[in-house]
Structures are given as C-alpha cells and as structure tokens.
C-alpha cells in the first residue's frame, strides 16, 4: 500500500488512535462524538457499499453539504474505494450544481438534507448519468436513499482491501471546482500525493498530537479547509464541525480548539469588535493601546529568547488581565496553530494578535496547488508576508512579477479543459495569476491579482487590494470595491457596516426612519469621503479616491457577491451596480466642466 494515499494514511492513523475522538459536532447542549475506530468502520462499510454498486476506480461521487462529520466520512470512503470526490458548496444553486455534476459525470451524489435534495430534483432531468442520491438527514423521498440505509446495506470490505492494495499516491483524489471572483468554475484535479505532501510539510512545523482539536468551519468544499482536515486527522487530533459559519464566534468559545485555520475576514472581525468596545471612551482606548504595546514587547522578547525584566513581567500580567486575555478567550483560548489563508492578511491584524499572545500564521496558496505554496514556520515569520515557499516546492517570479510555483502538490490540470490547463501549467510551473515580490531572505509578499489590476485612461497602473486593505482599517468599510479601469480616476463602492453607519448618523445628529435613508445622505457621503481620504492620504495622486457610493445590498455568499472564502466577486459587483457607477462618473464629469 502507498503511504502517500489518503485512505492508506487515514487507516494507519485510525489504528494508532482507535479510541481517541475523531469527529465532533454540537447536538444541543451536548456533543456528538465519533472515535477513530468508529469512523474507520463506517468509512470501510460505505466504501464497500459504493464498490458493490458497481462504481469503478476513478469514477466520480458528489458531496453537496455543509460541514459535518458525514462530509468527511463520504470523502474518506471515496478515497478508500479509489473513487474521486467532487465537492459542491452548500450555497450552490440548482443550476450551479447541475453544471458541476454534469461536467464531472457524477454517478452518485451525497446531500445534506431536503434543501440540497430539492435543488438536485429540480435539475435531475439534466443529469442522465446520476444514478443515486443519498441523503444525510431527513426522509430520503422518491429517487433517493438515506446514508443510514446505505451503511446498513454495506458490502464486502475485502473488496476495499483489494482496491487499496494497488492504490497509488499519484491517483486523482478529487475534482474541486473553483469559486473564483471571475469566470465559469473549472474542475481542478488534485492527487492524493498533493494532500499528503502538505501534511508532511506542516508536520515539520507543528507538533500536532491526539490531544489537539481543530474547529472546522470554513467550507470543506474549499481546498483550504479540506487540506487542513487531512492534517488534523493524520495526527489523531479531533475535528469539531461547524455547519453554520455564522455561528463561529459561539463555536470558538464553546469548542476551545487548539487549532484553527480561517480566512482574513474572521480575524478582521475580532479586531474590529475589540476596537468597537473601546471606541466610546478615550480612557479605554489608551488602556488598550498600552496593553497592546506591552504585549508586543513581552512576546517579542519571548520569540527572540531574550530575558524579561521584572518590570516587564509585572506590566504584562496587568495588561493580560485587563485586556489581552479577553481577546484570547474570544478566540477560544491559546492556539498551537492559528493560521490564515484564502486572501492577503493585513500586517496590523497579525501584530494585534501577536500582542495578545496568538501568533497568526498567514500563508499563500490556491486551489491549483492543493492549496499550499508558501507558509511561515513558528520560528521564521514576518508580518505582512506569507512566509517562504514550502519545503519541497519552488517559487519564481516572472518579469511582470507573476508568482509561479512548482511542487508535488500542483494539480494534474483542469478537468476536460486541456487548453486552459496548458495556459497555466508550463513545464511543470503553475502560473498563479498573482503578483508579488520576494525579499532577500525568501519571504513572499502578495501584491494583487493580475486580472484585478486597474489601468486608468491616463495609463496609470493601480493595484486595488492594498488600497482596499487600507480602507478596511476603518470598520465602517465592511466591503469595498475600487473602480477606475479605463476611467480617468478612481472611485469606490462601499457595502458599509450598518451598525457603524447608524453610529455616524447619530454623531452627525441626523434623523431617519429607515437605514436606507442614510446611504444617500449628503452628510454621510461627505463623512465617508473624509475617512477614505485620511486613510489613503499618503498614496500617490493617481491612487487617490475621487468619489464613492454606498450600496443598499449587503455582500453575501447567498446573493452571489462573495466567494465562499468571503472575497468580493469583483466582476459581479461591477455588473450588478453598473448603473450606480455610470451615474457617479457622469455626475463627476459634469462637475468638472
């Protein structure tokens, strides 16, 4: 058996940690826990069942569900039967699901419950290859079966052993359809070796044991949470599943996991919440600023292995008691691993958590790299950077600054798209589409996406992400989109934090019946222009924002304006609010005549 194969790796781990808890999910006030032995038994029974249904190695099986232990059960059962799992985001529409299932040719689909089942039922006529739908929860209904029934039916587990005897790490493990900010989703083909390679890399950085636990709340359909779950389960640790990511704050406090991987948005919200708590009191603001300075001084001395004076120790204990410990408690306590991916993370956010005793590791990757390309080690990190290239991988930059990566975890290609594959995979190098730079010590810094670069009608190039990151320092600017491509100057669309917007309204002594009235109030717009101007004052003239508009519609995954990793879908926002943009530029043009 090939130890680089996910199913082989899991079976070895389950044998070593048979009695330890593997998965956990909240069930009211209690936890529903499954041990490694119980999970392995179900994995083998379900794998045997899938084989008995006539699925041959390499055939595709869809998983259409929120995060839950059954998600991982099906994923590992597919690996054990040498089938290819095809995840769908729980927020996918019926049409999106139809596209993915038809494109990948899935014969079986596992769904969470009635909602997902109804979506598939609506497009079942478009999926002649789909033979079976299996439901985790609720009544299966016509044309579907339940997971419990499939497990009960089982099959000959000797067939599972026979398949794994010839399993190879370079086999296709999964097809993950990208949910990028532009274009039609493409099926990214990832191997077992791509994932287990990353497990081995991260195990060199962190000593994860069966005493650790992780909070699984990013979509398992995304490569980041998926790959991290393999790290967790390969070390005998426990994975705590959060089905509704909107409850992550409560889940962090309840689960008190020692491991957590997230996207920047979570950390930004914790930072903003801490700032909001002191916003109404200059004295509280001074206290927090002092505590963060002391925390930074103390933890820097610890990181550099320098002695701490008795004065520093006393000051730190006071700062920790008054401020810092409450922020760690909000995160669910101290962390052995606190990591960030999916989008660039602001350096000031990393510095904030560091001061609180939480070293936040920001890495870089993309689905096509399974997804990890660079990551900082606990002893080698720089705030604002995404670390060095992972051991066993290679990085290089083109003359234009595009980041290229090569390593064992690079995709095989895009499913059924040879031309698109050839465009990004050249001599084994993955052209990422991201722009960045390397410092003299090999630390990588991300600048922006090539496709997102703005070229004004005056020929000036502007990278929008760094400017949008500056604006994010003010919690009022919940989501922003910088505009100006082929235009004479930059403007901004803002999806504001509504509670902060109301606070500004009260500060300006405005009156309103509905929140919508604030969005177009001249005094509100002028205040936002002032704030944006202050935050971007040090930028070059061509990077200054000349005007902005507030949007009524919130940015969510459900309305299609955010990706599952909470990045703004730039093209979709521009398309949906094109009229507002045109009116803004037209009015500005008239005012300049």
> What is the per-residue pLDDT across 242-269, written as a single tens digit (0 to 9) for each?
999 889 999 999 999 999 999 998 999 9
* Terminal Cα distance for the chain, rounded: 75
Whether 22 contacts 32, CB under 8 Å: no
Percent share of the chain, pLDDT over 70: 98
Both tokens of residue 336?
């052995």
Residue 104 is predicted with a pLDDT of 97
Average pLDDT (532-551) is 93
d(CA 408, CA 430): 11
pLDDT of residue 182: 47
pLDDT greater than 50 at residue 153 = yes
**CB burial string 521-532: b at 16+ within 10 A, e below:** beebbebbeebb
Q: What is the largest CA-CA distance in the chain?
A: 81
Strand partners, 214: 239, 259
Give the pLDDT of residue 185: 84
The pLDDT assigned to 592 comes to 57
User: CA-to-CA distance for 75 and 135, rounded, in angstroms?
Assistant: 15
Q: Residue 532: left (phi > 0), alpha (psi -120 to 50), or beta?
A: alpha
pLDDT of res. 342: 86
| Ramachandran angles phi, psi of 7, nearest 5° | -70, -40
137 against 72, higher pLDDT: 72
Supply the mean pLDDT for the chain: 93
- The confidence score (pLDDT) of residue 184 equals 73
Report the pLDDT value the prediction gives residue 451, as an integer from 0 to 100.
Answer: 87
- Cα 449 from Cα 364, distance rounded (Å): 13
Whole-prediction pTM value?
A: 0.89
- Cα gap 243→65, rounded to integer Å: 9
Return the closest-CA partner of residue 525 out of 536, 513, 510.
510
List the domains of the chain with CATH numbers.
6-168+218-245 (3.40.50.12780), 265-407+416-449 (3.40.50.12780), 453-591 (3.30.300.30)
Lowest mean pLDDT among 190-194, 232-236, 556-560: 556-560
Quote the pLDDT of residue 181.
Answer: 44
pLDDT score recorded for residue 590: 63
The stretches of 304-417 forming alpha helices (DSSP H) are 310-319, 325-330, 347-355
Q: What contacts 545, CB < 8 A, 6 or more positions away?
A: 467, 482, 490, 491, 492, 529, 532, 533, 536
Which residues make Cβ contacts (< 8 Å) with residue 372, sequence separation at least 6? 198, 201, 202, 227, 341, 363, 364, 365, 390, 409
Q: What is the mean pLDDT of residues 479-507?
A: 92
Q: What is the pLDDT of residues 373-392, one digit of tens each?
A: 999 998 899 999 999 999 99
**Tens digits of residue pLDDT in 425-462:** 999 999 999 999 999 999 999 998 888 889 998 888 89
Residue 353 has pLDDT above 50, yes or no: yes
**CA 329 to CA 340: how far, in whole Å?**
19
């Amino acid at each position: 058996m090939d130890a680089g194969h996910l199913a082989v790796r899991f079976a070895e781990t389950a044998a070593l940690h048979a009695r330890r808890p593997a998965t956990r999910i909240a069930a009211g006030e209690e936890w529903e826990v499954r041990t490694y032995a119980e999970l392995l038994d179900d994995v083998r029974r379900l794998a045997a069942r899938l084989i008995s249904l006539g699925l041959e190695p390499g055939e595709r099986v869809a998983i259409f569900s929120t995060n839950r232990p059954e998600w991982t059960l099906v994923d590992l059962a597919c690996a054990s039967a040498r089938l290819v799992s095809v995840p769908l985001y729980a927020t996918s529409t019926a049409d999106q699901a139809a596209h993915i299932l038809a494109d990948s040719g899935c014969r079986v689909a596992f769904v969470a419950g009635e909602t997902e089942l109804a979506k598939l039922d609506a497009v079942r006529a478009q999926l002649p290859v789909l033979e079976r739908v299996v439901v985790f929860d609720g009544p299966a209904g016509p044309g579907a079966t339940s997971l419990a029934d499939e497990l009960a039916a089982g099959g000959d587990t000797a067939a599972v052993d026979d398949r794994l005897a010839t399993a190879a790490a370079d086999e296709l493990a999964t097809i993950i359809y990208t949910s990028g900010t532009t274009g039609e989703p493409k099926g990214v083909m990832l191997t077992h070796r791509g994932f287990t390679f990353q497990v081995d890399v991260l195990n060199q950085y962190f000593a994860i044991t069966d005493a650790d636990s992780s909070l699984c709340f990013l979509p398992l359909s995304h490569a980041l949470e998926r790959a991290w779950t393999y790290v967790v389960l390969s070390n005998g640790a426990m994975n705590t599943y959060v089905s509704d990511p909107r409850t992550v704050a409560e889940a962090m406090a309840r689960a008190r996991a020692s491991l957590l991987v997230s996207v920047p948005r979570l950390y930004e919200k914790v930072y903003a919440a801490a700032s909001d708590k002191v916003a109404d009191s200059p004295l509280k603001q001074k206290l927090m600023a002092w505590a963060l300075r002391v925390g930074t001084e103390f933890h820097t001395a610890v990181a550099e292995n320098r002695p701490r004076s008795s004065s520093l120790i006393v000051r730190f204990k006071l700062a920790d008691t008054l401020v810092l410990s409450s922020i760690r408690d909000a995160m669910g306590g101290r962390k052995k691993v606190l990591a960030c991916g999916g989008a660039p993370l602001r350096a000031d956010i990393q510095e904030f958590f560091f001061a609180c005793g939480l070293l936040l590791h920001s890495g870089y990757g993309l689905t096509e790299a399974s997804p990890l390309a660079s990551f900082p080690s606990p002893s080698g990190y720089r705030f604002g950077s995404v670390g060095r290239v992972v051991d066993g991988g290679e990085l290089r930059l083109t003359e234009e600054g595009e980041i290229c990566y090569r390593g064992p975890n690079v995709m095989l290609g895009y499913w059924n798209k040879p031309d698109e594959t050839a465009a990004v995979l050249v001599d084994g190098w993955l052209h990422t589409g991201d722009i960045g730079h390397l410092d003299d010590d090999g630390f990588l810094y991300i600048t922006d996406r090539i496709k997102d670069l703005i070229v004004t009608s005056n020929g000036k190039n502007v990278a929008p992400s760094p400017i949008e990151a500056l604006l994010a320092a003010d919690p009022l600017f919940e989501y922003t989109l910088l505009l100006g491509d082929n235009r004479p100057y930059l403007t901004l669309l803002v999806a504001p934090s509504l509670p902060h917007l109301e606070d500004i309204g009260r500060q300006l002594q405005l009156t309103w019946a509905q929140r919508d009235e604030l969005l177009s109030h001249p005094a509100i717009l002028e205040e936002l222009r002032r704030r944006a101007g202050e935050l971007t004052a040090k930028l070059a003239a061509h990077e200054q924002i000349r005007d902005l508009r507030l949007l009524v519609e919130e940015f969510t995954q459900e309305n299609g304006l955010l990706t599952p990793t909470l990045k703004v879908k730039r093209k979709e926002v521009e398309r949906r609010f094109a009229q507002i943009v045109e009116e803004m530029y037209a009015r500005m043009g008239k005012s300049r005549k």
